[in-house]
Amino acid sequence: MTSLFDPFTVRGVTARNRLWTSPMCQYSVLDHSGVPQQWHLVHLGSIAAGGSGIVFTEATAVSPEGRISPRDTGIWTDEQAGAWRPIVDFVASQGAVPGIQLAHAGRKASSWPAWGFEDRTGSVPVAEGGWPTVAPSAEAFGDLDVPGALDLAGIEKIVDDFRAGARRAVDAGFRILELHAAHGYLLHQFLSPLANHREDEYGGSLENRARLLLRIVAAVREEVGDGVPLFVRFSGSDWTPGGWDEQQTATVAGWAQEAGADFFDISSGGIQTGIRIPLGPGYQVPFAEHVRASAEVDVSAVGLITTPQQAADIVESGAADAVMLAREILRDPHFPLRAAHELGVDIDYWPAQYLRAQWRR
């Protein structure tokens, strides 16, 4: 037996196993409305049927200007929340816990979708559906446009947008919320000294750089009450000297837990272009292990986790409480069912339609 298939409970919400689906951008809102489409129902629904314990949406913007690209999903209108409802209901009907990642892209917003526009560079022009971007400091990411530095009124709007997005998400039926503070997007931009050069109460010291995230954690917790688990995704490292690192992550994770967060999803990178990351199987697991041990918080690991035994070893070793799967889930949406089969674990949530595949005859 393996603890990979043990349930995991946060604030009364129980995931049936420790194999969870990471947020993954789909760039499939072709009308630029932020409203999830049939693609999202089929994509997330098939993953839920495949046995994941938690199924997270892609990074879902809390405001129009918070989208990574014009084709991203949103949660800033009631129409969007209503469109999420049948997707959430289907995911839950398959036994998975539906989760949403609330996000704001900051200076990485208004960029071209990852597919279909390979010949386009820089920011999407306003005439083609783009918009001016914002950030902690007026410094561009790569060849994207220079963002406007947020003033205090703009920061207040960011907090309010996350609060309102959380409310709509819960009303749409999502059982878990995650704040995206990784991969070089807005909250990570505030956290990292490589992107935050402010001289006010939101810049400089670690306490100041973490202030916006902690305010959002507290605001979301106040808005949704005690019954909704709140995750935070961090980049455990900027992979460059003088940047954000695993110890700052652990410190801020501890503060975030005190402010109302419950669980920490540890990834890495994304704050600057031109940084070489030494990729390899499980290359980000040490960051999750450090945060778990140093801050004494619950964490998940993600990044080139591709086999059932590798995933089981991560959980059983105590490096992480769960694993997030991304590209491997795209290759095989039924990875958890396959993992149970390969590891010899008898689970009771194979879809009836697939029972003939449960054991080889």
The CATH number of the domain where 137 resides is what? 3.20.20.70
Position 5 scores a pLDDT of 98
Residues 234-287: pLDDT tens digits? 999 999 999 999 999 999 999 999 999 999 999 999 999 999 999 999 999 999
| Domains held by the chain: number | 1
Position 1 scores a pLDDT of 66
Calpha distance 180→261 (Å, rounded) = 12
Which are the catalytic amino acids? Answer: 185
Calpha distance 18→5 (Å, rounded) = 6
Calpha distance 38→22 (Å, rounded) = 20
High-pLDDT (> 70) share of the chain, %: 99
pLDDT-derived band at 360 (thresholds 50, 70, 90) equals low
Residue type, 13: V
Position 357 scores a pLDDT of 85
pLDDT for 142 beyond 60: yes
Q: What is the pTM of this model?
A: 0.97
Residues 57-107: pLDDT tens digits? 999 999 999 999 999 999 999 999 999 999 999 999 999 999 999 999 999
Treating both helix axes as pointing N-terminal to C-terminal, what angle do 38-49 and 78-93 enclose, rounded to 10 degrees? 30
Domain hosting residue 310, numbered range: 3-357
Distances (CA, A) of 168 to 10, 107, 220, 221, 328: 21, 25, 11, 14, 30
pLDDT for 361 beyond 60: no
pLDDT for 318 beyond 60: yes
Q: Which tokens go with 199?
A: 């001289």
